[in-house]
Structure 1
Amino acid sequence: MKLSAALLLLSQLAVSQATSGRLKEPSSNNNVSNQRTRYAKASKTGKSGKEERDYFNRVSNFFICSQIGASCTEDDATSAEIVAASEDGMTLIYTDAEKGGVGSVDITDYANPKGTGFIPTSGEPTSVAIRGKYAVVVENTSQDYVNVSGQLHVFRLSPMTLMHTIQLDGQPDSVAWSKDGKYIVVAIENERDEDLGDGGLPQMPPGFVVVLDASDADPSKWTRTDVDVTGLPGVRFPEDPEPEYVSINKDNIAVVTLQENNAMVLIDLKTKTVVNSISAGEVTLTNVDVVEEGVIRQNVSITKYREPDGVAWADNKHFIIANEGDWVGGGRGFTIFHKDGTIVYEANDDLEHITAAVGHYPENRSENKGNEPENVAVGMLDGKPAAFIVSERSSVIFVYDISDVTEPKFIQVLPAGLSPEGVTFIASRNLVVAACEVDDRGIAARAVISIYKTKKSELPSYPTITSLWSQSDIAAPIAWGALSGLSFGSEEHKLYSIEDSFYSSSRIFKIDTKNHPAIIEKTITIMDMNGVLDAAYPGVFGNADKTVNLDQEGITLDSKGYLWVASEGSGTAASGTPNILVKVDSTGVIHKVVPLPDDIAAKQLKWGLEGVTFVDDGSESGALIACLQRPWSGMDHPLILAYSIGSESWDGYLQYPLDAVESPNGGWIGLSDISFYNGMAYIIERDNQGGPDARVKKVYKFNPFDSAYTWQGEVINKELVYDMMPKLEEVSQGLTPEKVEGLAVNDKGMFIMNDNDGVDDYNGATYLEFIPWL
């Protein structure tokens, strides 16, 4: 499959915009005839005429912290690394290395999974496999990198009870159980010490592969054979193989990846002998980003060892490797091999480009291994074999049709929790399950098990926004992330948005919202061609190439066709950068810079300018209303400021009373975007919490023309318009985004959108949602 096919599919996703959740119309304008529910289809062919098919959609997230307390209010770190399912598909078992044990989850109702217990282990559990009534869990009990040891525990599933333990004489990394139940294979990695010398290979002791004969119903009678995998051809350091991951086909041939050695070995489990060893080779990627400079530039060619991590058999003759990289390599994609060592398919830079198109590209990993494909599972979708490749750094799952292993077809991308590690397909229930390991309440990230189910539809529910290819560089898509404010454009169905200071070269995005998903069809790079910004603030915002590095948080379009951007400052007035409004034309050239009034700017703290909106106040040029996120020094409330475009002067301010903090994790409440429509100013008020700690994500309105306001510091009267929490919990399945920072209101309803923080310590999901008036 060519890259163009994958991205073309993303850019052609087209059905009417989703409209679950509705608002009360503030005036007589209630024309919503063009709005459609996303999957309101009654036949094989949808209303748009497009053929329906099965797509996976995420239906739930099980929060690992709920095993500690149902409300997830504890700070204790947990994780979910590898997950396996019972054969009836009703129970999940996962490994939790942070807490040191294994947990169980009842998914009888997969939309409402329930934790059913946690069993501590003596070491660090690394992997789990299930067959029949037993689950086997391997754990690392090593003292250090030289004195290595491990165990395999056999648990009865119901109730979860330890039945037997087998010593492994090394550090296990993964385990697999053959489909006929006869064999269990453990990859004994004996991993390298990355802090020893240069951290490279070889480092003793060498790893090996354990094969257990599990044909007896009594686990205490299982027998163990150690298979030596040293000294094999195709292995970079054959004396130190470091087995990583294992998968078994129907013929009981195990394929084991040797990640740091950039190789795979095949073992016949009946004879316990190596039947082939294969170098994973190198891959040349022609359009990827390899520099962490705050700009996603996918225009460099590199050649790297693939260094595969996860592996899965596509059929009895072919297997798929996820080319994560661990040491000096990283293929950033996946490869399909014939068991004789022949490559039949290479994904090249597809995954890098798909993540860029859907806003999940991790710019901060460009100099490392990009999106880092971590693992792979094989299952079925729409009656055809499918591969599910998880990306650890982009926090997504790529779904490919592999009915022809020589030409896989990209089908869809699924959102996941932060850093998915393990993935499995449950054939009995047509479910995909991913274990997402990062858990840090301080950054609003909780470890989850994400569950996906098929549904017939014209298109999947995610992504809600994607991009077209750049017209200037057709080799890669328009890359984006960290979208903040929103504003309607002059054309129907068009929105403007901006990226914040996560990226170092500020851009404006033009978005077509006519269809689902919305399409980023154009970028406008802001340029200080005439030195306007640099004259006002020499050396503060400008780049050498005349691009600028603003912290764009709000955007609006005025009546003359100019765009105004609110750039948030940093730090204090004495030592930080200023909060400013920047006027740019349709080509991105800066025409004017407006600082805040001196008396207000002198009180600057962090949490500065967020939203800005154009107001038709009856004057020739109109006015702008902008908001500060939080109160500054000496203030009781954040300010709403008015600026007259015609007179080029600030006309005063109001004070905005914030709601009280409700989150069990504390934090603060602040303002985000602001949008003017039909005589009223609409504004986002939110807390700085995400996931199960999120509580306040609301849209309020106030009348800026109220005769009670002289704009001399009065406290406004606000009215609740819409509580976004139910909608955000619905679309994210409980992974409620913290930073809801985009709002655009018109006679049809409102668009809301979250900032994905450039996929840095966040799962990268962007939800652009339309809420129509009733």
Structure 2
Amino acid sequence: MRKFYLVFLFGVLASSCRERISSPGPVSLTFDEISSLKVGGEAAAEITTYDPITQKLFVVNNSDGLSQVDVIDFSDPVNPTLLSPIEITPFGGGLNSVAVKNGMLAIAIEAETKTDPGTIVVFETSNLLAPVANLTVGALPDMVAFSPDGRYIVSANEGEPNDDYDIDPEGSISIIDTQKGFEVSTLGFASFENQRAELEAKGFRIFGPNATFAQDIEPEYVTIDPTSDFAWVTLQENNGIAKVDLNNKMITDIFPMGLKDHMLSENEIDVSDRDGISGNFQNWPLLSFYMPDAIETFQVGNNNFLITANEGDTRDYDGYSEEERIKDLELDPVAFPNAELLQQDENMGRLTITRSQGDIDQDGDFDVLYGIGGRSFSIWNGSTGELVRDYNRLEKELISAQPNLYDDGRSDNKGVEAEGIEIGEIRGKNIVFVGLERSDAIMVYQINGAAGLQLLQVLDGIDKPGDTGHDAPEGLLFIPAEESPNGKPLFIVSSEDDGKITVYQN
């Protein structure tokens, strides 16, 4: 029945989307680089947001001991110009995220001690001299977003432990109501403790040493539906997504993201950097957690769908680390009769996996191998959390389009690391941008319905001799034509390793 339902759903959604986005005549959906601006060194350009009212960009900059928001005059996208920055040090420690809506700029700032409560500071974009609100939220606010109507500011408070792993604050989600004097409601996850066994059975992870359910949750990234009623927040290390009712200020659901079976033909994976073959995709006895970072939402008809970049992430601290190479594990001889062969470097030996799970019978050896990250991007049903499509051709299409961008040296550890995701609409057509942190590239797709995807372009940002392009693209920002300073759709890449923003135009 489930298979029939999905096939029927795909057909209905694809038909609905064709009716909605069809347009006469050929439409160019490619992007060309029109400018770039270096704002600093490593960590200087992590996240960027745009204010159409003042035609300014606001960029996270934590490079060279700085903690500031760079302000850029973007009235001429071909010639972006740095203005005076907003200093963040008076408000806390490191700067993590920025967002703009209706002339308001929200900035997410962690405390000097990251396990202490963090801060959301709000400025008017027309007056950056003093904030209009300075608000306390949960520990380590990692991402901030406005609802489309501008009423709510939502903060994903990651609540990471300290390096010794003896202080572990609760992860949380804060909702700030701009229409009620910036009233803050911070929501925790303790009420889901009684669902732990059910969630874990479906691939959810609770595994931090001595951590309660609420402490172990680590919110990462936020997206909000077009009607401003619901938010979805990735819980990356936990392999899940939380659904949040903004109007009633409550977390309604946790969606476990399940596991990816790499023995299935469609889930081939390159597991070794020592096999002498770039892109050696094969089936292996491995189950991987998706562990998404960025998330976006889109609608087909009245249905909300989610799209995630399945980067993968681990807990690797002095006090606790889950990472291990397969060659350093003892494998169960019944589950893995060919263990000696699998553990060779040219096979699975060097693959980094999690040791937090896998010893099913608790006898000291591993009966199942669990991988880190989906090496893909996925589409999910926003109401049920059900997987609609996992797009596994990401790495293969990169190699086919630009083989020099595939870093085989990362095959043993999360691959290309799809980290960023952004959705834009150009003349009725939905475009998806997927940022590949380890390949320094952006994959551009057209999405049809809820599941149809077509690769349009690979953006590597290399436009002249000696230019390395995007060095670890982190932030992806689409500016629609109606908000753009030059009336044309723009796409901006923020690259944290080289401190550069790159501007593309359709």
| TM-score, structure 2 as length reference | 0.71
Counterparts of 2:27 and 2:120 in 1: how far apart (Å)?
45
- Three-state SS of the structure 2 residue aligned to 1:117 is coil
Counterparts of 2:71 and 2:407 in 1: how far apart (Å)?
32
The answer on whether the counterparts of 1:181 and 1:215 sit within 8 Å (CA) in structure 2 is no
The answer on whether the counterparts of 2:162 and 2:168 sit within 8 Å (CA) in structure 1 is no
- 1:336 aligned residue: 379
Larger deviation: 112-121 or 290-299?
A: 290-299
Question: Is residue 295 of structure 1 aligned with residue 277 of structure 2?
Answer: yes
- 2:135 aligned residue: 166
Shift of the 420–297 alpha-carbon distance from structure 1 to 2, 3 Å rule, reads closer
The answer on whether the counterparts of 1:142 and 1:171 sit within 8 Å (CA) in structure 2 is no
Output the amino acid matched with 1:61. S
The answer on whether the counterparts of 2:138 and 2:174 sit within 8 Å (CA) in structure 1 is no
Counterparts of 1:156 and 1:295 in 2: how far apart (Å)?
53
CA displacement at 1:166 relative to structure 2: 1.0
Question: Is residue 61 of structure 1 aligned with residue 42 of structure 2?
Answer: no
The answer on whether the counterparts of 2:296 and 2:306 sit within 8 Å (CA) in structure 1 is yes
Counterparts of 1:424 and 1:110 in 2: how far apart (Å)?
14
Deviations 1:353-378 (A, max 9, x none): 12222121111211110010112111
Counterparts of 2:27 and 2:178 in 1: how far apart (Å)?
44
Counterparts of 1:52 and 1:323 in 2: how far apart (Å)?
30
Question: Is residue 228 of structure 1 aligned with residue 205 of structure 2?
Answer: no
Output the amino acid matched with 1:152. I
CA displacement at 1:170 relative to structure 2: 1.5
- 1:318 aligned residue: 305
Question: Is residue 177 of structure 1 aligned with residue 146 of structure 2?
Answer: yes
CA displacement at 1:275 relative to structure 2: 2.1
2:170 aligned to which of 203, 206, 209: 206
- 1:493 aligned residue: none
Larger deviation: 333-342 or 150-159?
A: 150-159
Output the amino acid matched with 2:217. P
1:391 aligned to which of 424, 436, 440: 436
Shift of the 189–284 alpha-carbon distance from structure 1 to 2, 3 Å rule, reads same
Question: Is residue 114 of structure 1 aligned with residue 81 of structure 2?
Answer: yes
- 1:663 aligned residue: none
- Three-state SS of the structure 1 residue aligned to 2:226 is coil
The answer on whether the counterparts of 1:255 and 1:266 sit within 8 Å (CA) in structure 2 is yes
CA displacement at 1:58 relative to structure 2: 1.8
Counterparts of 1:303 and 1:112 in 2: how far apart (Å)?
48
Counterparts of 2:426 and 2:142 in 1: how far apart (Å)?
29
- 1:102 aligned residue: 69
The answer on whether the counterparts of 2:297 and 2:306 sit within 8 Å (CA) in structure 1 is yes
Deviations 1:619-674 (A, max 9, x none): xxxxxxxxxxxxxxxxxxxxxxxxxxxxxxxxxxxxxxxxxxxxxxxxxxxxxxxx
The answer on whether the counterparts of 2:473 and 2:496 sit within 8 Å (CA) in structure 1 is yes
| Correspondence 1:334-733 to 2 at 5 A | 334-339=377-382, 340-348=384-392, 350-357=393-400, 358=402, 359-416=404-461, 417-427=470-480, 428-429=483-484, 430-438=489-497, 446-454=498-506
Counterparts of 2:154 and 2:387 in 1: how far apart (Å)?
25
- 1:561 aligned residue: none
- Three-state SS of the structure 1 residue aligned to 2:139 is coil
Shift of the 93–364 alpha-carbon distance from structure 1 to 2, 3 Å rule, reads same
Deviations 1:575-621 (A, max 9, x none): xxxxxxxxxxxxxxxxxxxxxxxxxxxxxxxxxxxxxxxxxxxxxxx
Output the amino acid matched with 2:50. A
CA displacement at 1:312 relative to structure 2: 0.5
CA displacement at 1:227 relative to structure 2: 1.2
CA displacement at 1:276 relative to structure 2: 2.0
CA displacement at 1:391 relative to structure 2: 1.0
Deviations 1:312-350 (A, max 9, x none): 0022510101100001421111110011111111102x1
The answer on whether the counterparts of 2:54 and 2:125 sit within 8 Å (CA) in structure 1 is no
The answer on whether the counterparts of 2:279 and 2:396 sit within 8 Å (CA) in structure 1 is no
The answer on whether the counterparts of 1:431 and 1:453 sit within 8 Å (CA) in structure 2 is yes
Counterparts of 1:193 and 1:332 in 2: how far apart (Å)?
28
Counterparts of 1:333 and 1:256 in 2: how far apart (Å)?
18
- 2:367 aligned residue: none
CA displacement at 1:196 relative to structure 2: 4.3
Counterparts of 2:270 and 2:294 in 1: how far apart (Å)?
23
Structure 1: runs of 5+ lacking an equivalent? 1-43, 46-50, 66-75, 198-202, 439-445, 455-774
- 2:113 aligned residue: 143
Output the amino acid matched with 2:33. R
CA displacement at 1:174 relative to structure 2: 0.4
Shift of the 62–225 alpha-carbon distance from structure 1 to 2, 3 Å rule, reads same
Output the amino acid matched with 1:288. I
The answer on whether the counterparts of 1:64 and 1:448 sit within 8 Å (CA) in structure 2 is yes
Deviations 1:67-103 (A, max 9, x none): xxxxxxxxx6551111111134821111112221111
Q: Give every structure 1 segment of 4 or more consecutive aligned residues whose post-TM-superposition deviation is greater than 6 Å.
A: none
Output the amino acid matched with 1:117. S
Larger deviation: 360-369 or 318-327?
A: 360-369
Structure of greater relative contact order (alpha carbons < 8 Å, 6+ residues apart)? 2
Output the amino acid matched with 2:78. A
- 2:350 aligned residue: none
Counterparts of 1:250 and 1:140 in 2: how far apart (Å)?
28
Deviations 1:457-497 (A, max 9, x none): xxxxxxxxxxxxxxxxxxxxxxxxxxxxxxxxxxxxxxxxx
Counterparts of 1:318 and 1:89 in 2: how far apart (Å)?
32
- Three-state SS of the structure 2 residue aligned to 1:314 is strand
The answer on whether the counterparts of 1:420 and 1:437 sit within 8 Å (CA) in structure 2 is yes
Question: Is residue 92 of structure 1 aligned with residue 36 of structure 2?
Answer: no
- 1:687 aligned residue: none
Shift of the 133–297 alpha-carbon distance from structure 1 to 2, 3 Å rule, reads closer
| Matched-pair identity in % | 29
Which structure has the bigger radius of gyration?
Answer: 1
The answer on whether the counterparts of 1:142 and 1:149 sit within 8 Å (CA) in structure 2 is no
- 1:241 aligned residue: 217
- Three-state SS of the structure 2 residue aligned to 1:215 is helix
